[in-house]
Amino acid sequence: MTYEEARAKLCAAGQEHVFRYYDELSAEQRRALIKQVGETDLSVLKRIHGGAGDERGVFSPLAAMQRSEIKARERELHEAGVRTIKAGKTAALLLAGGMGTRLGSDDPKGMYDIGLTRPVYIFERIIGNLLDVVRETDTWIRLFIMTSEKNHDKTVAFLKEKNYFGYKEDRIVFFRQDMAPACDFGGKLYMEAKDRISTSPNGNAGWYSSMCRAGLDKILTGEGIEWIDVFAVDNVLQRICDPCFVGATVLADVSVGAKVVRKAAPDEKVGVMCLEDGRPSIVEYYELSDEMMNAKDANGDPAYNYGVILNYLFRVSELAGIADERMPLHVVKKKIPYIDGNGDYIKPSEPNGFKFEQLVLDMIHQLSSCLPYEVIREKEFAPIKNPTGIDSVESARELLKKNGVEL
């Protein structure tokens, strides 16, 4: 893209201020900024006022595989899972591209030390959980780690320094997710430096397209990987690629398995598994009508009762059919660092603008079938979003201790 083309693109979108410092920049900085303008999708900025893609369909309940059934069929599910893992058909994918702004650390979230009497890093817990399955099945499961350009170098350096917490280096592949621009509440792009538009990771649904752009789909086909367990960095209790979950999903012959927990209360703030226009989907807590909240299934239990915990086992052959452009774009209020009119770098303490994200939960609705698989909340759900309070370092520590983890 030439300077003139970049300027025309910015003018058409009302974003000429991006070139405010252009005259002060070196030739190299100018080239970099023009390149970034060329690569940035400015059409997302129109979405701050809402738009097509936000409408929802008709919801109906989707039954989960409950603990009672899992227990009764434990042996069968476990054997099927171990077989699949041992055949090298299962991979794990750690979503670690987020900014973790709520936690408030400048480091990648996985580097956070939750220990009390000794260091216990979030990455260490996650990798330790996967290592349990590696030992149990005697199989080094391929582990993909998604970072973003904001945290890639630190993540890679940290894990290398810690010797991957015991994981085999040649079974790990890192890749960076794509970025999206960030703007103020009026839709004006923020600048993070005089030669750079503010960007943030484009949401955790970016994993598959970013993986393909990095050429890693070749590993999936080359190694015959048929299932990929995609999970968040911040749930320090979750089991990853655990044989019963893998076995249940494979035997159910669905497009995706989703770990779910029974809701703690009808109005709990958690996305709930359901069908939407007959396809699997997740209804957000604020979209649940009173009627849905009180609806009962054939056994008299609440019909919309299972919340997702961001741990999904995707069937690889169905991923190519998921089109980014059909997925909703979420406009999220966040704290966005920027340079002000004086060229000073500002780190806001309150949300000051919008980021644009596509979410992994919306991938589910693009698939034809899903098995919600119940896990016990106290044993598998300890997300760390905040330093204190709900879903925090404090609450996760309590749950880890209850599960016998020394901190």
Paired sense of beta strands 345-346 and 338-339, if any: antiparallel
CB of 180 to ligand UTP, least distance (A): 8
Closest residue to ligand UTP, Cβ-based? Answer: 98
Nearer to ligand UTP, 232 or 339 (CB): 232
Q: What is the distance in angstroms between the CA of the first residue and the CA of the last residue of the chain?
A: 53
Nearer to ligand UTP, 70 or 230 (CB): 230
**DSSP, residue by residue, 158-172:** HHHHTGGGG--GGGE
Nearer to ligand UTP, 82 or 384 (CB): 384
Paired sense of beta strands 59-60 and 90-95, if any: unpaired
CB of 313 to ligand UTP, least distance (A): 16
| Contact indicator for 166, 131 with CB cutoff of 8 Å | yes
Nearer to ligand UTP, 189 or 232 (CB): 232
Report which residue type is found at 258.
Answer: A
CB of 148 to ligand UTP, least distance (A): 6
Q: Where do the H-state alpha helices sit in 100-186?
A: 122-137, 152-161
CB of 336 to ligand UTP, least distance (A): 11
Report which residue type is found at 37.
Answer: V
Question: What single DSSP character describes residue 327?
Answer: S
Nearer to ligand UTP, 36 or 151 (CB): 151
- Phi, psi of 42, rounded to the nearest 5 degrees: -85, -10
CB of 315 to ligand UTP, least distance (A): 21
| Contact indicator for 273, 282 with CB cutoff of 8 Å | yes
Q: Where do the H-state alpha helices sit in 23-121?
A: 27-39, 67-72, 74-86
Report d(CA 164, CA 366) in Å as an integer: 34
Q: Three-state SS for 322?
A: coil
Q: Which residue has the tokens 């005089």?
A: 194
Nearer to ligand UTP, 231 or 245 (CB): 231
Nearer to ligand UTP, 335 or 379 (CB): 335
Nearer to ligand UTP, 19 or 356 (CB): 356
Sheet holding 353-357, edge to edge: 183-184, 353-357, 330-334
Exposed e or buried b per residue across 13-39, where buried means at least 16 C-beta atoms within 10 angstroms of its C-beta: bebeebbebbeebeeebbeebbebbee
**Residue 176, H or E segment:** strand 172-176
| Contact indicator for 36, 15 with CB cutoff of 8 Å | no
CB of 113 to ligand UTP, least distance (A): 17
Nearer to ligand UTP, 97 or 307 (CB): 97
CB of 200 to ligand UTP, least distance (A): 7
CB of 125 to ligand UTP, least distance (A): 13
| Contact indicator for 188, 342 with CB cutoff of 8 Å | no
Q: Which residues bind ligand UTP (CB under 6 A)?
A: 95-102, 146, 177, 201-204, 232-234, 357, 385
CB of 24 to ligand UTP, least distance (A): 31
